[in-house]
Chains A and B, each alone.
Chain A
Amino acid sequence: MAASSSDVGDGGQLTSTMINDMKEKIGQELEAVSVVVQDISGDGRHVSIDVVSPVFEGKSSMNRQRMVYKAIWQELQGAVHAVDAMTTKTPTEAGVGQQPRQ
């Protein structure tokens, strides 16, 4: 009767499905060159997000983070405090090329 623990979080926690969805959404919506969503603690309660994208060019740190939050708004409901850390860089700042990875 209970859903598999890999599909449903108990709240305050990101499941691996949610983490994958977040990676995809950020990658697509932000035309990212790279997206890393890392489960630091292993229990989905402490996650870091690192995004490299040209769309960040000219935007303040707050506005860049806001773009990321918008892309994953659904996953954040109930698990927002699981995102411990976020970096948002342009390809130039990250020292990488501009082509999105396939």
Chain B
Amino acid sequence: MSFMGKTQTVRRTAHSGCRASAGASSGGGSVLTPELRTAVEEFLQEHKVVLFMKGNRQFPQCGFSNTCVQILNMVQVPYETVNILENETLRAGMKEYSSWPTFPQIYIDGEFIGGCDIAIELYQSGELKELVEKALVS
């Protein structure tokens, strides 16, 4: 099952089951259920470079997402994109997962690296190229 397919299933579970509040930073319930967290972690293990964005690489839906696509294209690394506009549960869940309130979000070797500003910094310093090269051989 595709990652989006899995998260759609998790969404149904999340809405029908209880909403655990453990780990939530705000006082309300958490969207990041153990099932969703596991699905995300598996996906991040499978793909070394992942961009959670608005839209996709052919049709980015926001300027910051587009910038990340362009940067990753220039680094010439294979990467996956996930369109968080297609899935509200995933959109909220990824914010909790990363403790980062906005998109785009770049993950390298399973770790959250940052958003557009940080991608630009890391690209300009050469660090981004280093990070992806290290990830590809790990």
Contacts and interface: CB of A to CB of B under 8 A. Distances in A.
A77 interface: yes
Interface residues of B, number: 13
Interface string B26-63: 11000000000000000000000000000000000000
A74 B114 contact: no
Given A69-B101, A70-B99, A62 B113 contact: yes
Chain A interface, >50% SS class: helix
A61 interface: yes
B88 interface: no
Contacts, number: 27
A66 B100 contact: yes
Given A69-B99, A70-B99, A80-B102, A62 B118 contact: yes
B128 to A, nearest CB: 12
A70 B114 CA distance: 14
B25 interface: yes
Interface in A41-70: 61-62, 66, 69-70
A80 B95 CA distance: 11
Given A73-B26, A74-B26, A66 B118 contact: no
Q: Which of A62, A69, A74 counts the most chain B CB atoms within 10 A?
A: A62
A70 B118 CA distance: 18
Contacts of B25: 70, 73-74
A76 interface: yes
B118 A69 contact: no
Interface of B: 25-27, 98-102, 112-114, 118, 121
20 contacts: A61-B114, A61-B121, A62-B113, A62-B114, A62-B118, A66-B98, A66-B100, A69-B99, A69-B100, A69-B101, A70-B25, A70-B99, A73-B25, A73-B26, A73-B101, A74-B25, A74-B26, A76-B101, A77-B26, A80-B102
